[in-house]
Chains A and B, each alone.
Chain A
Amino acid sequence: MKNIGKSVLVINAIIVLLLIASINADTGGGKLKLGYLYTDEVGNLEVNQETFNTYEGAVFSLLDMVYLFDGGLSINADMQNITLNNRNLTASISKPGLFSISAHNNQYRRNYEFNGGNFTRRRTTSFNGTFKPFSYAQLFAGFGVTAKKGVSNDLIAETYDTVNVDYSHTTFNFGANMLYKKNSLFWEYRHLDFSNNVESELYNTGRTADAFRLSGSTLIPKYDWILVSGGYHYRLDKIESNSTELKTNLGWGAAKLYIPQRYIINYRISYARTNHSATLRETDNVINTISIGKSWAGKFGLRIGYENRVADDLTDRTESNGLLLNGWLKIKKQLLVRVFTSTRENNVVNGTTLIGEESIARHKITAIYTPSSRVSLRVQWNGQFASHDPDTQIRDTLTDTEVGSKVDYNTLTASLKLSAPDYGKIIVSHTYYRGQFENNSADLSYEFSDHLFRASIYPNSYKNLSVFASGKYYRSRRNRDVEKTSISINAEYVLKDTYTIGAQYEAYNFDNFLVFKEYYTTNIVHFYVIKNFEI
């Protein structure tokens, strides 16, 4: 009944919006969607994330509504699934160049129990407004609530009872944004308030935060090829019950030099100090970054950078040096190759840290081949590597403070897009994920090998009929043994240009071959009618 009440409220609000719109009318229109969604589920409702937020029932949506008044005022609304608990609503009223007010609401459910009896629902509601009193200044303000209600099984479903996770997180902010002749100034104040409804003080994590930001940038007079910017950020988090505070002061400065021949030099520095009152720890973070880039007018670009990071909490101090290389090459608009690589060596300068010295590398290569407007082929490899003890001889002498773990993570994706003007478009893609985690602690290791296939077919409309189909297959092996499949078919028929009759069928299947109770199958059918309307 509560949900029906909310739906009625929203529908009333829409009617009021439409009534307001009809006064002093100019032009407007949108789409009304009415339908019914059936679901038929078998198995464990807590395993298939894609269908967590699917509900059975009558569906009413108002889509792409725009109403324009004489003089420039406009009302916009896009409200999906108003009558269901997975509603996703956006509405705004604005006058370009003067003001805007917008509202947004959406909800997301997660199941925590075989039959779906235990679940949590996160609701996000926000209001934002801007006002532009002058062409060079904009004031803004916002208010938002993220609320979560329900029960979850927390971390160990087999052992623990359900855990109540109700909370509400309220924020409001306001500030100003100014831009005058390429000089900018921005400031913002933000307040956050988190409270939960758990009676026990052990779980009462109510807290507040206040944050202030100020930043600005300007071109240097007479040297307008140099852009400098800087800012300050302050944030204070407080726990209500025991007065614990976390305070951060951050200052940053940056310069960008546009040198002839398409060279660009970037430099930035940031310094932050974070104080934690409970641990009595004061942590400094200093980051210096410099890079130089050069491009050859749309054909080739290269950037090389160096970054130094220092983290120091007076007991321990780590320092890292990172190198970055980023390049791209475009050959006759048919082939684009992008290469990104970065490495970082993190050393413990003072003290002893748990994970010790670290080597991290990340590489990404992307090639996009487009021989004609009908064919496009993309291939991407992404590799991430981390090592805490590369020398196997040293590993035998590991102490408690040297874990010696390793990560080797690779992703390879290939996707092909084919289109024929007379027939339609097909997109197919395959991604292979491979991860090996060597955790020398307790001789535990972890490994996965996943394949994901995806295909979508978009045939051209035939007379007034259009059809769209897609499918996915996911298989995870090694330490996991999971299989997921889904298909979706959608058909729409347009009647007299104002009505569209549609049907959508979706099916999902999930199997965990290592955990007997983790299986799930569902069929979802959605019938609907869309009416295009004008006011």
Chain B
Amino acid sequence: MKILGESKMKIDHSRGPAGIPVWVGIVLLLLISGLAQGNDLISDETCLDCHDTMQESLKNTPHQLSSLQKNTSTEIACINCHSGAEIHVEDPEVGNISNPARLEGFEARQACSNCHKPHVGMDNYGFDVHSELELNCSNCHKVHGGHSGLLLSKKAEFCLKCHEEMKNPFSRRSMHPVNQQTITCLSCHSMTKRKDMSTGFEFERVCQDCHPQQAGPFPFEHEAANAYAVEGNGCLSCHDPHGSENDKLLKQSGEELCSSCHMTPPGHLNLPALHGPIRDIENCVACHSAVHGSFTSHKLLDPFLQSRLGSPQDCNQCHDLSD
């Protein structure tokens, strides 16, 4: 499990204990400096003598060389990522120095994980396709001269380069505005911000960032909307998040959607005695409009239903709303 270049990346944080006589410290310093002279690390300047454009490509990136800037807590040098520099200096063959971008799969990710925690799924969490395909960090990131986040390209284009087929759902009748660049794939499929977000019943939190008004809790819940519930599948119970032929990203429209889980109670449809607006619309949400959860009704009825229908008397006088 030894990592290429690992030995060069170790930083010695050891310090002498208090109370040691000064002369011991001096002797130790001399010894250490002697050892260091015999084991010189290759400096950035040495590398840049030949690879002068590399300095520019690292500017304005988190990997900007420490030797060229002031007051930074992180030591970054060429040899942190490229091991074998001592041999390469003597014999400047490409094969004499490591390049993490050319490593494959596990070894490549290990090289970067000396300083970076792997993204969710890339290491220990879940079945992630990026990990399974043995993708290297450099399949998505470019250390020398990448865009923001060192990504290979900007915003949604970055993911859609590989996931070509995912461009199409965002052109259906209703969709999330990814093609309009209002949001990106990473707005929902965040690989870095939600390292702990793993289990199914947490996914609905992703939607709540932008749609908090639909988020619970409610005194009267719609179980389907709660991924933690026994019968719930969260927002995805009713919505197709990429794109749909229906308005509001619904999987089905109108009463068809509701009837995939609910039986239509007798007398609810096609009866002439029904109130006009309900008969005309033939849609469950005409009355049960609080589909995400209600503050007033366990049947998820519209709190203003009575006044909206212009009913002169209380609904309870004719309808049994008790169960």
Q: State the A residues within 8 Å of B (CB).
A: 49-50, 52-53, 66, 68, 71-72, 74, 76, 80, 86, 88, 95-98, 106, 108, 122, 124, 132-135, 146, 148, 154-156, 158-161, 165, 167, 169, 177, 179, 182, 184, 186, 192, 194, 196, 200-205, 207, 213, 215, 217, 224-225, 227, 229, 231, 233, 237, 239, 241-242, 244-246, 248, 250, 252, 254-256, 258, 262, 266, 268, 270, 272, 274, 276, 278-279, 283, 285, 287, 289, 291, 293, 295, 297-298, 301, 303, 305, 309, 311-313, 316-318, 324, 326, 328, 338, 340, 353-355, 366, 378, 380, 400, 403, 405, 407, 413, 415, 417, 427, 429, 431, 433, 435, 437, 439, 441-442, 444-446, 448, 450, 452, 454, 472, 474, 476, 479-480, 482, 484, 486
Pairwise interchain contact A441-B210, C-beta atoms closer than 8 A: no
B15 in contact (CB, < 8 A) = no
Q: B281: which A residues are within 8 A, CB to CB? A: 156, 158-159
Q: Contact: A97 with B62, CB < 8 Å?
A: yes
Pair B231/A442 contact, Cβ less than 8 Å: no
Report whether B198 and A276 are in contact in the complex, using a CB–CB cutoff of 8 Å: no
Q: Which residues of A contact B304 (CB under 8 A)?
A: 202
A415 to B73, CA, bound (A): 47
Complex Cα gap A179–B221 (Å): 41
Between-chain CB contacts (< 8 Å), 13 pairs: A133-B73, A203-B295, A207-B217, A215-B196, A250-B202, A289-B126, A324-B127, A328-B132, A353-B231, A378-B164, A413-B165, A433-B245, A454-B168
Distance in angstroms between the alpha carbons of A312 and B1 in the assembled complex:
42
Q: Provide the bound-state CA to CA distance between A122 and B183, in Å.
A: 12
CB of A196 within 8 A of CB of B117, answer no
Asked if residues B229 and A429 are in contact (CB atoms below 8 Å), the reply is: no
Q: Are B62 and A328 in contact (CB under 8 A)?
A: no
Q: Which of A279, A355, A444 has a CB less than 8 Å from the CB of B221?
A: A279
Q: Which residues of the other chain, A, contact B182 by a CB distance below 8 angstroms?
A: 53, 86, 88, 106, 108
Known: A108-B182, A146-B209, A207-B217. A215 touches B195 (CB 8 A): yes
Residues of B within 8 A of A (CB): 1, 11, 59-64, 66, 68-76, 104-106, 113-117, 123-127, 129, 132-134, 148, 164-165, 167-169, 171-175, 177, 179-182, 195-196, 198-202, 209-210, 212-213, 215-221, 223, 228-231, 245-246, 251-253, 255-257, 259-264, 269, 277, 280-281, 283, 285-286, 289, 291, 295-296, 303-304, 308
Which 9 residue pairs spanning A and B have beta carbons closest together?
A72-B69, A97-B74, A246-B217, A442-B264, A202-B303, A413-B165, A97-B72, A169-B212, A446-B256
| A441 touching B260, Cβ below 8 Å | yes
In the assembly, what is the distance between CA of A437 and CA of B252, in Å? 8
Which of B104, B210, B277 contacts A146, CB < 8 Å? B210
Contact of A96 among B63, B200, B218 (CB under 8 A): B63
Q: Which residues of A contact B200 (CB under 8 A)?
A: 285, 287, 309
Identify which of A184, A272, A326 contacts B117 (C-beta below 8 A): A184
Whether B106 and A96, one on each chain, are in contact in the complex, defined by CB atoms closer than 8 angstroms, is: no
Tell me whether A295 and B212 are in contact in the complex, defined as CB-CB below 8 angstroms, given that A97-B72, A202-B296, A317-B230 are known contacts: no
| Cα–Cα distance between A450 and B245 once the two chains are bound (Å) | 8
List 8 other contacts, CB 8 Å, given A96-B72, A301-B133, A429-B168: A76-B60, A97-B62, A124-B210, A196-B213, A250-B199, A380-B165, A403-B262, A444-B256
Say yes or no: A156-B285 contact (C-beta < 8 A), given A97-B72, A133-B73, A403-B262: yes
In the complex the two chains form, is B260's CB within 8 Å of A182's CB? no
Given A225-B1, A378-B164, A437-B256, are A354 and B217 also a contact pair (CB < 8 Å)?
no
Q: In the complex where A154-B289, A213-B196 touch, is A71 in contact with B228 (Cβ < 8 A)?
A: no
**Quick check: B73 and A242 within 8 Å, CB to CB?**
no
Docked CA distance A236–B15 (Å): 44
Q: Is the CB of B195 within 8 A of A98?
A: no
In the bound complex, do residue A278 and residue B230 qualify as a contact, i.e. CB atoms below 8 Å apart? no
Residues on the A chain within 8 Å of B264, using CB: 441-442, 444
Query: When A202-B304, A283-B229, A446-B253 are in contact, do A403 and B263 touch as well, CB less than 8 Å?
Result: yes
Option from A106, A124, A295, A353 in Cβ contact (under 8 Å) with B105 = A295
A-B contact count (CB 8 A): 324
Q: Which residues of A contact B263 (CB under 8 A)?
A: 400, 403, 441-442
Cβ–Cβ < 8 Å partners of A184 in chain B: 117
Say how far A252's CB is from chain B's closest CB, in angstroms. 7
A residues in contact with B269, CB < 8 Å: 442
Shortest CB distance B105–A (Å): 7
How many Å lie between the Cα of A148 and that of B106 in the bound state? 45
Give the nearest-CB partner of A73 in chain B. Answer: B69
Contact (A156, B283) CB under 8 Å given A378-B164, A378-B165, A431-B168: yes
Q: B171 to A452, Cβ gap below 8 A?
A: yes
Whole-angstrom CA separation of A285 from B231 in the bound complex: 12
A88 touches B181 (CB 8 A): yes
B210, A313: Cβ atoms under 8 Å? no
With contacts A98-B71, A278-B219, A415-B165 taken as known, whether A158 is within 8 angstroms of B212 at the C-beta atoms is no
Q: A482 near B199 (CB under 8 angstroms)? A: no
Do A167 and B277 have beta carbons less than 8 Å apart?
no
Residues of B within 8 A of A317 (CB): 230
Q: How far is the CA of A376 from the CA of B173 in the complex (A)?
A: 28
B178 smallest CB distance to A (angstroms): 11
Q: Give the residues in chain B near A194, CB-CB below 8 Å.
A: 212-213, 215
A110 (CB) vs chain B CBs: closest residue: B177
- Contacts A135-B11, A270-B199: A454 and B74 contacting too (C-beta < 8 A)? no
CB neighbours of B167 from chain A (8 A): 429, 454
Q: How far is the CA of A464 from the CA of B140 in the complex (A)?
A: 31
A244, A353, A452: the one contacting B219 at CB < 8 Å is A244
Contacts A258-B1, A283-B230, A441-B263 given; indicate if A252 touches B213 (C-beta within 8 A): no
B123 lies within 8 A of A227 (CB): yes
Contact of A182 among B114, B173, B210 (CB under 8 A): B114
What separation, in Å, do the CA atoms of A486 and B170 have in the docked complex? 13
User: How far is the CB of A304 from the nearest CB of chain B, in Å?
Assistant: 10
Residues of B within 8 A of A435 (CB): 251
**With A186-B195, A291-B127, A355-B261 given, is the CB distance from A203 to B303 under 8 Å?**
yes
Tell me whether B73 and A429 are in contact (CB under 8 A).
Answer: no
